[in-house]
Structure 1
Amino acid sequence: MTEPPARTHPRDRIRTAFAEAGVTGWLHAVDIDSGAQIDVGADQPVVTASVHKLPLLVTLHQHAEAGRLALTDQAESPAEDRTAGPTGLSAMLDPARLSLRDAAYLMMAVSDNTAAELLLERVGLDAVNDTTAGLGLTRTHAVQSFREFLTSIREDAGHGGPQALADPRVLARLRALDPARTNRSTARDMTRLLGAIWRDEACGPEYGAAVRRLLGLQVWPHRLASGFPFDEVHVAGKTGSAPTLRNEVGVIEYPDRGRYAVAVFTRAASPAAALPAADAVIGTAARIAIDALRTPDPRSTGGVRARPGR
């Protein structure tokens, strides 16, 4: 009897998907309950960009749980000197006053940079690093605010402005694209954080539920969610972007109670701002990984372990 051809390992299929989309990619996906996992460069240091708003969100809720602040405390956002960005308070023209939890909503739902700065001013950068260290995220570190991250891009681009970011020589000097000089993590650290959130280890049940709710309100469907176009599958996540960088981390929940944390970080070869294939491959790669975790091939080894009872 002829043996059936060996199936391509999911890791190889993910790498092929990244290559066809014109990106270098790093991924980690894990079954939150069993620990079954798959990785593609999961321990490579990566630039988090706005993904670092997730550790900030957890820090905010840890402070609320400890009584250091109340989520209903009010924050003032003057119209002048707001952090740059195309969404939320960053794009608004008038003074605003809102609660910390509503600022957290704007930060997570539309990645509002000004809202993130308001919250960071309340808890401090050191507290964010204390949070990640306390959860065992040894390769995750914040070295600057979101305003400082964006300012560094503007400074490094020089007098050419945003148009200069199409020049490979300019991209090569951007501190914001170097994990050693900006906020950083790894795909594995981010899934570890997501698992802690979903198991109520990062915060107690009340505050963990609040964090999960906000992650589920993100409006962007073009990256992680694009791989799971099913009404019965719930996607909660946080994107991050910078020139050539497109990231997203999140949790995929199935109606059979399967829940999977996944983190995908990419860097495109092209400096173009609009690269639909580079956005979509985040969902494609996550779907390949999670499909492998849900229906593991017993012949596959090296990064995929079957989930007991599945």
Structure 2
Amino acid sequence: MTTDTEKRIRDVFADAGCVGHLHARRVGGRDDVEVSVGADDLVVLASVYKFPLMLALCEAFDAGETDPRDTVRIEPAYCTPGPTGVSLFRDAVTLSWRDLATSMMTVSDNAAADLVLGLVGVDRVESLLAGLGLTKTRVVGGTADVHRRLVIDAKAHTTAEAFAALANNDEAWTVSAYDPSYVSATTPREMTTLLDAVWTDRILSPERAAFVREVMAAQVWSHRIRSGFPYTDVVVAGKTGTIGAIRNEVAVVSFPGEIPVVVSVFTRAARADPMLPVVDDAIGRAARIAVTELRTGRLN
């Protein structure tokens, strides 16, 4: 990658008041044709962990261990809290596993993710990652596990109190949720490798890989990587992740008639405000710089 491109991306992150890591490459392309800004540094997955979790569930579908049309009855009162999905429901609901997974991915449904994790287990996720040689990526638990640790770290009584403390910029909270040594973690390069494996049908059956691609393209959030590509004919299939000062997204950007580009962006902001649109926008801008560099053919 040219020094100028790396500097431009780092400047975008600095101007937004965050530290950022990025990796991008063409789908199926050479490993050395890339855009890399701290691509091998360990970073916090946050809700991006739902992407490898989705793959582990689909692997169970392929193995015939779980029927995607089998249903599960969900009682919202016992669900992991979250701002979206079934945890917001007031009444019990019955969903198939594939529809639950769709909610997990498209609106980052925390309750759905913990139910899926309870079905497939952490060991299966770890085995899938190890099979691709992704030795730095690990999933150590679900959202409920993160919430429990956060309550302890913040010396709070409830999850709501813990998140209120986490968002207080006048307090210097040291929480494990920000430390990739303690929570589910990865590197930007390993996430683009995982995306590439799905888009080239090197993992899962073609039917299940197509399902994952379709669901990721239906993600509702457009404030991060999608914001860098505001065109109706460009498909951005991704998964976001957020907790406190952490804001991430991994995605595949597909222009008509072109080889898609996989890109992963992980940030940690100087502030932990619940809404930081300047950082969200920076993720889109950095992704656009990287994808444009690869599309122009200057990297061969």
Confirm or deny a common fold (TM above 0.5). Answer: yes
Deviations, residues 191-247 of structure 1 (Å, cap 9, x unaligned): 000000000011111110011111111000000100000111100000000110000
Task: Find out whether 1:79 has 2:76 as its counterpart.
Answer: yes
Structure 1 window deviating more from structure 2 (104-113 vs 67-76): it is 67-76
Task: Find out whether 1:17 has 2:12 as its counterpart.
Answer: yes
Deviations, residues 130-166 of structure 1 (Å, cap 9, x unaligned): 1111111111001122211122223322235433224
Identity over aligned residues, as a percent? 43
Do the aligned residues in 1 keep the contact of 2:169 with 2:273 (CA within 8 Å)? no
Partner of 1:41 in structure 2?
38
Partner of 1:116 in structure 2?
113
What's the CA shift for 1:34?
2.1
Q: Distance in 2 between matches of 1:153 and 1:184?
A: 16
Counting matched residue pairs gives: 293
Q: How do 1:260-271 residues align onto structure 2 when only pairs under 5 Å count? A: 260-271=261-272
Q: How do 1:192-207 residues align onto structure 2 when only pairs under 5 Å count? A: 192-207=193-208
| Change in 2 beyond 3 A, CA 1:155/1:169 | farther
Partner of 1:180 in structure 2?
181
Deviations, residues 257-295 of structure 1 (Å, cap 9, x unaligned): 320100000000112121111011111000000100111
Do the aligned residues in 2 keep the contact of 1:157 with 1:170 (CA within 8 Å)? no
Q: Distance in 1 between matches of 2:170 and 2:145?
A: 22
Q: Distance in 1 between matches of 2:154 and 2:81?
A: 15
Q: How do 1:147-158 residues align onto structure 2 when only pairs under 5 Å count? A: 147-158=144-155
Q: Distance in 1 between matches of 2:264 and 2:171?
A: 28
Q: Distance in 2 between matches of 1:207 and 1:271?
A: 37
What's the CA shift for 1:171?
5.3
Q: How do 1:214-229 residues align onto structure 2 when only pairs under 5 Å count? A: 214-229=215-230
Q: How do 1:1-310 residues align onto structure 2 when only pairs under 5 Å count? A: 9-35=4-30, 36-159=33-156, 161-167=162-168, 172-297=173-298, 305-306=299-300
Q: Distance in 2 between matches of 1:212 and 1:123?
A: 20
Question: Please, what TM-score do these two structures have when normalized by structure 1?
Answer: 0.91
Q: Distance in 1 between matches of 2:247 and 2:259?
A: 26
Q: Distance in 2 between matches of 1:155 and 1:169?
A: 19
Q: Which runs of 5+ in 1 are unaligned?
A: 1-6, 298-304
Q: Distance in 2 between matches of 1:234 and 1:114?
A: 27
Q: Distance in 1 between matches of 2:85 and 2:151?
A: 21
Q: Distance in 1 between matches of 2:65 and 2:172?
A: 41
What's the CA shift for 1:183?
0.3
Partner of 1:301 in structure 2?
none
Q: Which runs of 5+ in 2 are unaligned?
A: none
What's the CA shift for 1:8?
6.4
Q: Distance in 2 between matches of 1:121 and 1:170?
A: 35
Q: Distance in 2 between matches of 1:243 and 1:62?
A: 31
Q: Distance in 1 between matches of 2:242 and 2:40?
A: 20
Q: Distance in 2 between matches of 1:8 and 1:42?
A: 15
Q: Distance in 1 between matches of 2:50 and 2:202?
A: 18
Deviations, residues 89-133 of structure 1 (Å, cap 9, x unaligned): 011111111000000010001000111111111100111111111
Q: What is the alpha-carbon root mean square deviation over aligned residues?
A: 1.5
Question: Please, what TM-score do these two structures have when normalized by structure 2?
Answer: 0.94
SS in 2 for 1:255: coil
